[in-house]
Chains A and B, each alone.
Chain A
Amino acid sequence: MSELSISDWRMLQVSLEDIGPFRQGVETISFQGQTGPPVSDPEADPPGPSNLYMLIAPNARGKTTVLEAIFGVWGLLARPVRGHFTHPAAGGKVQVDVRATWTIDGAVQTVLLSIWTGSNEPLVFWSDDALEADAQAGHWARLGVGLNGEEPYALDESNDLGRILFDAIRGALGEAPTDPPSRAQHLPTIVYFPADRMLVASESRRIVEEPSQWGYQPAYRFDQDGPEWNTTIDNLLVWLEWLQDGRLKALLDQVNEHLFGPESGKVILPPRRSELLTYVSTPSGAHPLGALSHGERALLQMFARIFSHMTLNTVLLIDEIELHLHTRWMNRMYRSFKGILAATPALSLVFTTHDRELIKLFDYQRPEKGLTKGGFLITDELE
């Protein structure tokens, strides 16, 4: 089996057909950046793929479908398989195009990877000219994914490069996160927070147990924090405390920085082993994690999962990013995400929102250090 190592990972576009409201032929959403004032000079360099992308649309126009489709095609490579395309009656086709820089057996390549499902052939074909001009890539890696029962397989139209990625991902499934996963695991992953994510008080049973979705997967979906113990953040922290390998401190440092900041005087402490319970230290005393406000718990869920499961090459998908959050908390989270993205080269975030204040805050044209912003409005019209 070839040795594959990925050093850069940028989602370029997603194309959809016959799924959700996308029923009028292949429709493509480009993730190219649009930061900066409109450029009239056709010779000017485009900003490149975005790492911060806003997707907006009125209800029922397909925002969630887009995120579910991206998650779904990668979810076919997970174990167990997960997402939209695992359902027997699932229809639709999707293709995700990614520009990646990877090394195979010592040779560095910039490739355009197309991963698709729902049809034998890719939905969008890339000519040599388009590969070079639009993707700045020298090779086209093709990976079509089909499903045989619970087992995914590479479709015939896949090529050798696509199959190498397929084998690498399938071979790494379930590998325990190492120290820390965001610096050790190079294989790509999708970390998805759907809009129906729930925060429910944990059941009373507390044990030392491996958290749900613990090992490497190409697609994670975090739609609940509780009530089952192994889906809770409390469990995640207890598990890391039990492993005693230093990752808990790294995680808490990051989470505390982004959740509370230094000025609040609040900090999540390592779990108490005797109680299997995590406390939050505040200027007025300590309280269990469960006593955090709803907004704080929503943020904790996101930051803890992201810092625990992201790899070197990660795409975050967050549906209705403002969910559970008061405006002040939303602004804080948005600021934190900008900082995380700017400091993490191959991390990108695609989010949806209904919050018009966030559209203004996002201000897609305003250049910000380390950020390439882009956005898309899904409408009924074909333009």
Chain B
Amino acid sequence: MPRFSDIGDTTAVDHRYADKVIIYVEDDNDARDYFFITGEEVREYLEFTAPERGGSGAGPVIERVRTEREKNPRVFGLLDGEAAALFGAVDALLQCTDILFRLDGHDRDGLIFLGQHERENLLLLYGDLYDLIKRDVMPGDIGRRSTVEIHSFIAPVTRRFYRAALLKYASLTLNHAAKKSGANAGCSTIDSRRFNNPNGMAAILEQIKERVIEEGFVTWEELMEEVSRTCTLVRTRFRTENLNAEARHGERLRLADGRSVLNRLRSNYSPTGRWEAQLLDGVVKSGFGESFLYRLRELTAA
């Protein structure tokens, strides 16, 4: 029977009282969308919530889970798959075939990772994207967008932001390795959204190279070596699992910077389109929500 001060701060007290599985997510939009995907009725036994303080992203989630979980084992964190790289475990994401995954280790206790780069990848993969693009047209253009044509646009965009994501993973991995060995920093995070720039890949890479050299924490060669390693890992999977072109595209779409892909597609097809809601609806209709919730309940005993 604990006093409030034995439990933690006011939020921890509230969560302990609620007697539900509490799942911290990276921001309020994540919470909103996960509730939508899993269905409002889950509120009876489960809550998605963003940390009240510390901003958005993985860091505040990791901190809150660490703070609360000691006194409340029903508190978890659901992080974007890319956050695995923060723990030097990007390979778990690259090789993941599950909806969600966990990492071993004391400092990862209670953390659950999305089997995709981030939430937007769910929309792209399960939201019936092609159908939306075909239907989101003026009346005179109905039936004019074909699957092949759409795919011919999506594929290179996906490749671009897949490579961007690998670069980001590499920077996070090197940074983690450096910190683990005692250094203050290993490599600043390379934001994959830099590739939103209309410049060609070569020009953007050149800018990043200049910055890495200027920073001096790691060499460009070290960074490229890590990118190459992860790229090989994924390609090896393609080969060993004998994935066809469509499956390979799906894997790249799973690992790509999903938000950037989504933004690029929308700016091409429907700059004013309210795609998130429609894609979310598509995710629910696809049955993914049920699988997602089933796996989440398995991992959290909700």
Contact = CB atoms under 8 A, between A and B. Distances in A.
A375 B13 contact: yes
A68 B18 CA distance: 24
Interface stretch (A81-89, A272-280, A357-365): A357-365
A360 B13 CA distance: 9
Interface stretch (A26-34, A296-304, A324-332): A26-34
Interface residues on B, range: 10 to 19
Given A365-B10, A383-B6, A56 B17 contact: yes
Contact of B1 (A34, A363, A378): A378
A356 B5 contact: no
Nearest to A53: B4
Interface in A335-370: 356, 359-360, 362-366
B14 interface: yes
Contacts of B6: 383
Nearest to A381: B1
Contacts of B19: 58
Given A27-B1, A32-B3, A359-B17, 17 more contacts: A58-B17, A359-B14, A362-B10, A364-B10, A365-B5, A365-B10, A374-B3, A375-B3, A375-B4, A375-B13, A377-B2, A377-B4, A377-B13, A379-B1, A381-B1, A383-B2, A383-B6
Contacts of A57: 17
B272 to A, nearest CB: 37
Contacts of A376: 1-4
A194 B11 CA distance: 27
A38 interface: yes
Interface of B: 1-7, 9-11, 13-14, 16-19
A38 B11 CA distance: 14
Contacts of B16: 377, 379
Nearest to A39: B5
A156 B16 CA distance: 43
A360 B14 contact: yes
A176 to B, nearest CB: 40
A379 B14 CA distance: 13
A133 interface: no
19 contacts: A29-B1, A30-B3, A34-B3, A34-B4, A56-B13, A57-B17, A58-B17, A58-B19, A356-B14, A356-B18, A359-B17, A363-B10, A365-B9, A365-B10, A375-B13, A376-B4, A377-B13, A379-B16, A383-B1
A374 B3 CA distance: 8
Nearest to B10: A363
Contacts of A38: 5
Greatest chain A CB density within 10 A among B2, B9, B13, B19 is at: B13
B13 A364 contact: yes
A60 interface: no
A344 B14 CA distance: 29
A214 B13 CA distance: 40
A378 B18 CA distance: 12
A382 B3 CA distance: 12
Contacts of B9: 365
Contacts of A375: 3-4, 13
Interface string A45-69: 0000000001011100000000000
The 8 closest A-B pairs by CB, nearest first: A375-B4, A34-B5, A363-B10, A359-B14, A364-B4, A56-B17, A376-B3, A377-B2
Contacts of B2: 376-377, 379, 383
A192 to B, nearest CB: 22
Contacts of B18: 356
Nearest to A357: B14
B43 to A, nearest CB: 12
Interface string A13-27: 000000000000001
